[in-house]
Amino acid sequence: MKWDDYRQSENLEDRRSGGGMGRVPGGRTGLGFGTMLVLGLVGYALGIDPRILIGGAEMLQGGRAPTQQTQTQTSRPSDDMGRFISVVLAQNEDVWAKIMPRDTGKPYEPPTLVLFRGVDRSGCGTAQAAMGPFYCPPDRRVYLDTSFFDEMRRKLGGGGDFAYAYVIAHEVGHHIQNLLGILPRVEQMKRRASERDANALSVRVELQADCFAGVWAFHIQQMGRLDQGDVEEAMNTAAAIGDDKLQKAGQGYAVPDSFTHGSSEQRTRWFLTGMRSGTLKSCDTFSSRTL
């Protein structure tokens, strides 16, 4: 992926050097990645939000979730990974500033991406490295500990610069859903739904974000920014984080009714759907009868 000659985003907070929490209150370092990965897999299997299990384990350890956000760090990152993430964020800004008005008639309001290390605060509660990257609708921020990419490569089998860019674009996709009012509507529907139907709605949300990431990739490809093998990297990563693969790795079998993100096949297919069309209208996972 060609990125080192591209501008960096102004919408990035680097909290890695003393800006984040670093340690949870009480002097504890929080749960290890292995423990959190197991809790996450158990959550997937049981249809429980993994953050609930992680939060409960933190309380048993004596940790308390912070509620206030840290002070913004406005300096640009100087390390290669930080600069890469800043560039990918800028590419998302440039692509969606054109696509959103064209496809929806609405302006694009970029999110802020927060880089942190270990543990940090977010508008959605505690941000933990082992939770992986996530988008927080209340504060309109994407939270990312770059150690997730190392774990993704070593333990889940996904990796490479475009694979990392896909992960970031997926979280930006959730921000677009928030701007379009999709996330609030889905949350209202989930409150009235059964657990099985609520999980099914979550899958449609996640697959749509994958499709939005594919739309971004289409336009990056049109700009001549992709190298040979980049798309394969993204596909390998999408397959690595499918619910079926994670559940089979954790318990030996998959429970489709408990899926919250979609199977490996679904995630790769919807990413490719967006990448082949380059338009938001191709990403209507909520009207599609078959996912």
**pLDDT tens-digit readout, 86-141:** 999 999 999 999 999 999 999 999 999 999 999 999 999 989 887 889 999 999 99
Give the three-state DSSP class for 283.
helix
- Average pLDDT of span 38-49: 48
Give the three-state DSSP class for 261.
coil
What's the CA gap between 56 and 47, in Å, rounded? 16
In the chain, % of residues over pLDDT 70: 79
Task: Evaluate whether 105 touches 111 at the Cβ level (below 8 Å).
Answer: no
HSE of 53 in the Cβ direction (CA atoms, 13 Å)? 18
Position 194 pLDDT exceeds 70: yes
Q: What is the pLDDT of residue 185?
A: 96
Position 58 pLDDT exceeds 70: no
What's the CA gap between 289 and 283, in Å, rounded? 13
What's the CA gap between 139 and 121, in Å, rounded? 11
Q: How far is the CA of 270 from the CAs of 91, 150, 224, 274, in angstroms?
A: 21, 25, 22, 6
CB atoms within 10 A of CB 269: 18
Q: What's the predicted TM-score (pTM) here?
A: 0.80
Position 280 pLDDT exceeds 90: yes
